[in-house]
Amino acid sequence: MRCVFLKLVVLGLALGISSQASVLEPKASYYGREIESGFGLLIVGGVPMLSYHALMRFRLGNRYPLYLGPDIQFGLGKQGHFFSLMPGAWYVFELQNNPTATLSLGLLAGPTFAQGLGNVPPAAFGVFLDAGISFEIEGLSTVRGQFRSGVVRGLFAVSGAMLIGFRFQ
């Protein structure tokens, strides 16, 4: 009887440890693709605009939560508009205090186009640092708050946005 009891305890511990190990894996490792879209505020060279953001991220391998993908940003202001299409790279961290939240840090660089924005050149090269925090809503969907700062041909640019995202295997 003692032997059976010990076997059940060892089996229960083994099952508990294996299930606990799967909970500690980063959530980002489960998803290979992410699509996010939303609205926010963009300021380029001191000109404020309402903006639309869309990005698609593809995971590189299974070892690290590193993503690559295109990002589109469109700003519409009173005086004109701003458009960027940039490839980006993001690294995703799971927040230990909240298992449904992740923090992503990224770098984007590519062409930007503007019209009617005063000192903002019509075509330029831009570089942005991206920081975002995502919260899982229902399994494969997320809400993301995003903050970006960068430079467009020597002019300071900053943006903030709220995005809704969908993740796929």
Q: State the CATH number of the domain containing residue 158.
A: 2.40.160.20
| pLDDT of 14 higher than 70 | no
Q: Looking at the domain assignment, is residue 118 inside a domain?
A: yes
Q: Looking at the domain assignment, is residue 108 inside a domain?
A: yes
- For the chain, the residue count is 169
The residue assigned the tokens 């990005």 is 55
Q: Looking at the domain assignment, is residue 86 inside a domain?
A: yes
Residue 97: count of CB within 10 angstroms of its CB: 5
Q: Looking at the domain assignment, is residue 9 inside a domain?
A: no
Q: Looking at the domain assignment, is residue 13 inside a domain?
A: no
Q: Looking at the domain assignment, is residue 20 inside a domain?
A: no
Give CA–CA dist 65/46, Å, rounded: 35
What's the one-letter identity of residue 10?
Answer: V
Q: How many domains does the chain have?
A: 1
- The pLDDT value given to residue 26: 45
User: What's the mean pLDDT in 43-59?
Assistant: 94
| pLDDT of 12 higher than 90 | no
More confident residue, 140 or 68: 68
More confident residue, 132 or 168: 132
Q: Looking at the domain assignment, is residue 135 inside a domain?
A: yes
| pLDDT of 104 higher than 70 | yes
Q: Looking at the domain assignment, is residue 16 inside a domain?
A: no
User: Is the Cβ–Cβ distance between 118 and 10 less than 8 Å?
Assistant: no
132 contacts: CB under 8 Å, gap ≥ 6? 103, 104, 106, 144, 145, 146, 147, 163
What is the extent of the structural domain holding 94? 27-168
